[in-house]
């Protein structure tokens, strides 16, 4: 029997607008699933059931209005919502309740969405896994012994397990793509400057942007359109190209595209990067599927150098900007304290040199990728890892482990490029394995079309065990 969560977000919206299902019914359905299933998954750190149902009743009494009218979502717990605890994954903010709602939440409210709570994130969103000192970890619904990745781990878990139809997220070094690939859903990291309220243009290196996580390419494109159009752009220029990006989810144009394929990462000369055979196989399968669809697919020999030192300097600089005292550092997690202290030790000259190197890397990467509409890479180098695999005490080793797990993510942020991860095959255990498509500046439409083509060619993949639980 088809249940409401079996429908795509777009199908749910159609049912809402046709009054075949009410906002109260749909919200109650997801709240019930969260209540029954989330204790073993850790997708949410706060569930606001009463507020969600109040909001649903108000929407139901009005005419449908807004691109997300009546559709539930969850706020990442880095995004403030007035009156709701916002802990940033840290015990430093265990009791913090903001007075105002941040733009990332307000834009979805204005589109008619219904927040059902806060999704799990690591401390200050600094890591590519979601395990904190203040609550349960976000787990992979395919195998809850494994983590869900991060930093948008709770959002990805919720979507993969059918606890949400889609979820807003953010990505400063892979924080959308790492968890989406870990649990086998779709995640889009937009171009720098694309999303007005989280453009990346006001941070060191221009790294963090907002984007969507969803079960299908079209659902992700739908949410991206909401994020892009929800606020006037505050800067003189935005990313080139235009939406609506949902139009690209038909796959049109993929046959005329040119795609480069590489398994090289810019960390290869600094870390022990070992590509899992299933990840390599997924890239080969995706390349064959695109070629069969008429896409020109070519091997791409890319040899970046000097990336590791530049990125680690910028990442430490970003951590050092947080207003944390020595006393605070005694309360945060070792990886946070290490990054902050390392950042404090950097000189102004070292920071400026790293930022200049990042600009050179961005230019050289864009030039190297320019002959392709998209570059196809693995999404992750390793399969999902057990809870506790990332070293909780040795911060330097922890950082290396994160790089070894996801070496194909952070350089996309440094280059300011759009990227999408999409599952294309299953490993021997039945777990989805994903690939990444990286676009030109402003090239979201091209990578969405290519991902939609892969999705159509692969066909429906199975849902994780939690999806099928009814009690």
Confidence at residue 237, expressed as pLDDT on a 0 to 100 scale: 66
Count CB neighbours of 194 within 10 A.
29
Our CA dihedral for 155, 161, 166, 169, rounded to 10 degrees, sits at 10
- pLDDT at position 236 is 57
Grouping H, G, I as helix, E, B as strand and the rest as coil, residue 169 is strand
Distance CA 190, CA 445 (A): 10
pLDDT band at 96 (very low <50, low <70, confident <90, very high): very high
- pLDDT computed for residue 224 by the predictor: 98
Angle at 61 between CA 55 and CA 64, to 5 degrees: 85
What is the arithmetic mean of pLDDT over 374-379?
A: 98
Between 231 and 276, residue with greater pLDDT: 276
Residue 383, token pair as written in the block = 């399969």
What structural domains and CATH numbers belong to the chain? Answer: 8-468 (3.90.1300.10)
pTM of the model: 0.98
pLDDT at 282: 98
* Largest Cα span, the chain: 63
pLDDT digits (tens, 9 = 90+) for 342-355: 999 999 999 999 99
Mean of the pLDDT values across residues 26-34? 98
**Which SS3 state, helix, strand or coil, does residue 416 take?**
coil
pLDDT at 164 over 80: yes
Residue among 122, 188, 159, 204 at smallest CA distance from 34: 159
Active site residues per annotation: 76, 151, 175
Q: How far apart are CA 166 and CA 171, in angstroms?
A: 16
pLDDT at 140 over 50: yes
Neighbours of 235 (CB within 10 A): 10
Average pLDDT over residues 157-178: 98
What is the distance between the alpha carbons of residues 229 and 341, in angstroms, rounded to a whole number? 38
Give the pLDDT confidence of 307-337 residue by residue, as tens digits.
Answer: 999 999 999 999 999 999 999 999 999 999 9
Asked whether residue 436 carries a pLDDT value surpassing 70, the answer given is: yes
Residue 185 buriedness (CB in 10 A; 0-12 / 13-18 / 19+): buried
Residue 336, C-beta contacts closer than 8 angstroms, at least 6 positions apart? 90, 123, 124, 126, 319, 329
Residue 233 above 90 pLDDT? no
């Amino acid at each position: 029997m088809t249940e409401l969560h079996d429908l795509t977000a777009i199908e749910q919206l159609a049912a809402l607008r046709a009054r075949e299902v009410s906002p109260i019914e749909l919200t109650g359905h997801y709240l019930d699933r969260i209540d029954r299933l989330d204790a073993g998954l850790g997708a949410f750190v706060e569930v606001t059931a009463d507020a969600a149902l109040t909001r649903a009743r108000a929407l139901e009494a009005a005419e449908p209005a807004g691109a997300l009218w009546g559709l539930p979502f969850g706020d990442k717990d880095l995004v403030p919502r007035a009156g709701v605890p916002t802990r940033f994954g840290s015990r430093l903010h265990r009791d913090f309740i903001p007075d105002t709602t941040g733009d990332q939440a307000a834009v979805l409210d204005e589109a008619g969405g219904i927040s059902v709570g806060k999704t799990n994130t690591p401390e200050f969103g600094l890591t590519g896994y979601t395990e904190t000192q203040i609550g349960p970890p976000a787990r992979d619904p395919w195998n809850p012994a494994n983590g869900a990745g991060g930093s948008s781990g709770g959002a990805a878990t919720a979507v993969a397990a059918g606890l949400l139809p889609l979820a807003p997220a953010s990505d400063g070094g892979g924080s959308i793509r790492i968890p989406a690939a870990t649990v086998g859903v779709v995640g889009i990291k937009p171009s720098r400057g694309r999303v007005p309220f989280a453009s990346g243009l006001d941070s060191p290196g221009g790294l963090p942007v907002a984007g969507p996580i969803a079960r299908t390419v079209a659902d992700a494109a739908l949410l991206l359109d909401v994020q892009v159009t929800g606020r006037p752009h505050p800067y003189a220029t935005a990313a080139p190209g235009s939406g609506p990006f949902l139009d690209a989810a038909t796959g049109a144009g993929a046959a005329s595209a040119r795609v480069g394929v590489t398994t090289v990462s810019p960390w290869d000369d600094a870390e022990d990067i070992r590509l899992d055979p299933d990840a390599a196989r997924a890239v080969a399968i995706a390349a064959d599927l695109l070629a069969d669809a008429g896409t020109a697919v070519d091997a791409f020999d890319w040899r970046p150098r000097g990336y590791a030192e530049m990125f680690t300097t910028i990442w430490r600089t970003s951590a050092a900007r947080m207003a944390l005292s020595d006393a605070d550092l005694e309360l945060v997690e070792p990886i946070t304290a290490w990054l902050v202290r390392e950042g404090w030790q950097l000189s102004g000259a070292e920071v400026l040199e790293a930022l200049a190197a990042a600009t050179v890397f961005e230019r050289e990467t864009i030039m190297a990728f320019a002959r392709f509409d998209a570059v196809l890479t693995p999404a992750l180098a390793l399969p999902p890892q057990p809870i506790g695999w990332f070293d909780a005490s040795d911060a330097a080793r922890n950082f290396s482990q994160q790089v070894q797990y996801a070496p194909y993510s952070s350089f996309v942020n440094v280059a300011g490029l759009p990227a999408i991860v999409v599952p294309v095959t299953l490993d021997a255990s039945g777990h989805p394995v994903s690939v990444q498509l990286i676009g030109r500046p402003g090239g979201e439409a091209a990578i969405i079309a290519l991902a939609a083509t892969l999705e159509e060619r692969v066909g429906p993949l199975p849902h994780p065990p939690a999806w099928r639980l009814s009690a």
